[in-house]
Structures are given as structure tokens and as C-alpha cells.
Chain A
Amino acid sequence: MSPAPAVTRAEYCVIACAEAWRDDGEVLASPMGTIPSIGARLARRTFSPDLLMTDGEALLVGPDGTPEGWLPYRRHLTAVTGGRRHVMMGASQIDRFGNQNISCVGDWERPRRQLLGVRGAPVNTLNNPTSYWIPKHSRRVFVERVDMVCGVGYDRAAAAGPSATRFHRIPRVVTDLAVLDFATPDRSMRLASLHPGVTVEEVREATGFGLSVPAEVPYTREPTALELELIRTVIDPGGAREREVAEPVPRAGEGGR
């Protein structure tokens, strides 16, 4: 058998996103963005077969797109508040305790840039596990303080009391460089794994706050042969993943991988 083409950065991102839904059981996976969608579908086709997913509108659909249930917005909100859901949202800004902003940049009263609005970020973060996907890890996104707290971080949830912390959990933040989590004593952000080819220095440079970095940082795991096959030929044969995260150009003096 000829060796498969090398694993791309986008494919490591898919694996890292898929892992967010491992061991979630029979809950609704709500991925937002191309790579999280591929990741969730991959998880369902492999290690998390009981996940539920929608067609992006009001139907619950199986892996082949066949409807299996009805989930209009009003019932989707019950899935959120009932907790049987794990969402992966985007973030225009995120801080070291996981506070997230998608509403606006600048002063809320008169924003420099109006974005989406808070949408469902407040209800998501207080009610069901909320992970994040950031396709371009940079200091513009990873900031010391977000301009508007939409998704609630660990410090803000703790300050708001037991009703806020009761179901609050941010399992992971996946970026084009790394996986981050909040497995630290003070619940500040930690580097959990590097995608192969990325250095700790690179992540630090792209992060606008002090990141907790363990002595040994593992690499994001390799996809299995079956996973690569599913990603490349079944779930994303058109290569949409490569358009969301481009393959990095090897730096001079490095041979690439």
C-alpha cells in the first residue's frame, strides 16, 4: 500500500475538534464553523456514535442526512437549557479565563465594529458544555480583556455564584495552532497540545496574555487511517477544511514534515 499523503494542519484541527465530543454520549453536537462540523461528524462516525446533529435548520439528521427528528429553535433552546448538548462556538475575542465576545469591538454604547450580538452565548455557557474554535490564533483574538462578555468564562461564572457555575464548563479551545483548556488550579487557560509543526514559542507569540504552559506539552494525536479516509473521501471530499485553515509554509531552514 502506498503511503497516504501527509496529514495537513487542517486535518489535525479536525481531529482536535472531534475529540471535544468524545465520551459525550447521547447529546446534541452543535458545531459552528467548517472544521468543527467535520470534526463532529467524524466523532459520530467513529468513537461517539450516539451524538445527535442537525441539518443546520430544524431537522435532526443521521450520518447519511436522513431525518430522525425535529428540532426547531424553540426546542433547540430546550436542548441548551436541559444540558443535553455540547456546542463549539467561534470567538471574535477570548481571554485567559474563557470569556468570549462575538457582540461588538470597542465601546458597547457606540462600537467601533458591530459584530453579531450576544446571540446564544450567555445561555450556552451557563447551561451546556461550550468549546471554542478559532481558525486563526492571534493576539487580536486572544486578548487580556474582551470588550463584551457574551460567553461566560470561569472567573465571571465564579463571581456570579452557584447558579452560574452549576452547569458551566468549557472543555476546550481549538485553534489552528493548538488545543487549549482550563485544567489549572485557577482555571486560567493552559496549552494542552500543539499541532505537529507548531512550537510553544509560536503559540505564546500569538496569545495576548500569559498562557500556562506545562513542562511537557504533547502533540495533538495522529488521525487513524480510518479517520483520514473518512475525512478525505466521505465527510469532506471537496477539501473545505483546507480553505478554513491553510497549510503553513515551512520556515526557511526547516525541512517541513
Chain B
Amino acid sequence: MSDKTMSADEAVARLESGMTLGIGGWGSRRKPMALVRALLRTDVTDLTVVSYGGPDVGLLAAAGRIRRLVTAFTTLDSIPLEPHYRAARERGAFALTEVDEAMFMWGLHAAANRLPFLPVRAGIGSDVMRVNPGLRTVTSPYEDGETLVAMPALRMDAALVHMNRADRAGNGQYLGPDPYFDDLFCEAADTAYVSCEQLVDHLGTTALGKETAPQTLLLDRSAVTGVVEAPNGAHFTSCAPDYTRDEPFQKLYAATPYEQFAERFLAGDEEAYRSAVRTWHEERG
């Protein structure tokens, strides 16, 4: 099996401006933040971002990298409204495809299954139809004759996700209570880059035991292009059971103008980021 390990910088070097980029996790939960920070160090821009949005969207929006966002929400969870996303929306910084959470999931399923669309009841009657004039409905060919939304496939050029464990071949394991939709993101994308808390040689033999069931092996290597070892790589979002959300730091992020935040925390590489976060926590006492 090929060794797919690479650095975060090598992973994002494969991304290009104008791409459609999926980002896994959910809100402020297990976001591939180290990969997003690496992306912010490149000049890749003009992205169509597909995400159950959290600070990944906030950072990319604040940095002006998003041309279009496809989402159902953008939130920091413990802080309901993502301030940088809000500010970007209110100044009309990018185009928005706003769909419902379930429509979004069916869009991922359609893409992962190479279908042009999947029917979903959500959306009709709501203004999701008004703000997405390209959305079409489909009528059941069976007796019920129901009319449903034909949610188009959310096919992506690349996906970024973060796992608790991964092996060099690209198998990925989550150990928290929720897989979110990271497997679908990888399967719905032409390429997928997986960062992980811990890189192991072979997941099947080293990570399975009495405590972990095979169902935790969420990603299989056929849908994974690159593996990046990134301890604390979801920071400041949660990555159960390895760590919880860094709430004080998230508060700082939410309360600080982006330029100021970027200057202090995003000017250097990931090691510099970690060091700056440590220093900030120490100063806080």
C-alpha cells in the first residue's frame, strides 16, 4: 500500500484557486483547523466552500478566500452566531447557497453515489426555494405523485476532514460520539485530505481492541488522497475524546478583529500557532 502521509503545507499545495472545497466536522466540532490554517498561508482563493459551517468558514470568509459558500448554518455552538461570517455576509463579501441541513446531507449522498440529485421533502414551501432559483422539484412516478425537491449533488474537487486516528494508507478512525459527515465529504470529493491527532502504521491491527469497534473506522483509504499528522489539529474546535473545545480561546477569536487575530496567531506555521496559543493561555493565568 502506498504511503499517503504528507505535511499540511504539502496537502494544501494541491489545492487551487477556484476549486470547490468541502470541509468536514460540524459547527465548532472536529473541524480540520490545522489544514484551514495551512490553507490561509497559501494564496489559494476564489473558493466555493461546502461546509456545516463553523470557524473554518469564519476564518476563510474573513480572509476573503470565499467566492461562494454552500451551507445550512454557520455557528460556533457555544457562541451561536459566528462573528466573522456575519460581518462578511453583512458586507456582501461572497455569494451564498443556503440550504437546509437535511438537503445538504442529501446533496453529499447524491455526490458520493454519483447521482445527479436525490429527492428530499425539505425545502418546498420555504424561502430556500426563493433564494436558490436554480433548485428544481421532482415528481414521484409512483401512485403517490408527490412533488419533492431534487437536491443536486454537492460534488467537490477536494475535501478536508480531521480524524482522531489515521494510518499511512488513508484509513481513518473517529473516537468521539458523532462521525458527523466526514465519510460523505471524502466520498463526494475527487480528492480528500485527512488530518489526524495520531498517525499509526496500520489502523486495523493497532487501533482496534476491546474499547474500539470496527464501526469507528469511518474512512477507508479508497476515498483518501493524503494523510497529515496534526496533533491538536482541530483546535480550537472540539475533538472528543482527545480534547474539548478551547472555549476561552474561541471567545478570544470571536471578540478579536480578524486582522489582529491573524497577526498574532496565523502569521507563522502550525508550530508558531501552537506556541502563540500556549503563550496566550499562560498570560491569562
Given A72-B180, A108-B127, are A118 and B102 neighbors across the interface (CB < 8 Å)? no
Q: Is B185 among interface residues, defined by CB-CB distance under 8 A?
A: no
How many contacting A-B pairs (Cβ < 8 A)? 135
Q: Is A87 among interface residues, defined by CB-CB distance under 8 A?
A: no
Q: Is B253 among interface residues, defined by CB-CB distance under 8 A?
A: no
Q: Is A161 among interface residues, defined by CB-CB distance under 8 A?
A: yes
Among A109-117, A208-216, A224-232, the stretch that binds chain B is A109-117
Total count of chain B residues near the partner, CB < 8 A = 42
Q: List residues of chain A with CB within 8 A of the CB of B125.
A: 122, 125-126, 149, 152, 156-157, 159-160, 164, 168
Given A81-B121, A110-B92, A114-B85, are A119 and B131 neighbors across the interface (CB < 8 Å)? no
Q: List residues of chain B with CB within 8 A of the CB of A64.
A: none
CB of A68 to closest CB in B, whole Å = 14
Give the complex CA separation of A162 and B71 in angstroms.
Answer: 27
Q: Is B99 among interface residues, defined by CB-CB distance under 8 A?
A: yes
Query: Which residue on chain B has the smallest CB distance to residue A108?
Result: B131
Query: Which residue on chain B has the smallest CB distance to residue A102?
Result: B73
Give the complex CA separation of A168 and B126 in angstroms.
Answer: 12
Instruction: Please state if B122 and A126 are interface contacts (CB–CB under 8 Å).
Output: yes
Q: List residues of chain A with CB within 8 A of the CB of B98.
A: 103, 108, 117-118
Give the complex CA separation of A109 and B91 in angstroms.
Answer: 10
Give the complex CA separation of A112 and B126 in angstroms.
Answer: 20
CB of B141 to closest CB in A, whole Å = 14
Instruction: Please state if A77 and B127 are interface contacts (CB–CB under 8 Å).
Output: no
Q: Is B34 among interface residues, defined by CB-CB distance under 8 A?
A: no
Instruction: Please state if B177 and A122 are interface contacts (CB–CB under 8 Å).
Output: no
User: Which residues in B have some Cβ–Cβ distance to A below 8 Å?
Assistant: 26, 53, 71-75, 80-81, 85-86, 89-92, 98-103, 105, 120-128, 130-131, 146-148, 176-181
User: Which residues in A have some Cβ–Cβ distance to B below 8 Å?
Assistant: 57-59, 70, 72-74, 77, 80-81, 103-104, 108-123, 125-127, 148-152, 156-157, 159-164, 166-168
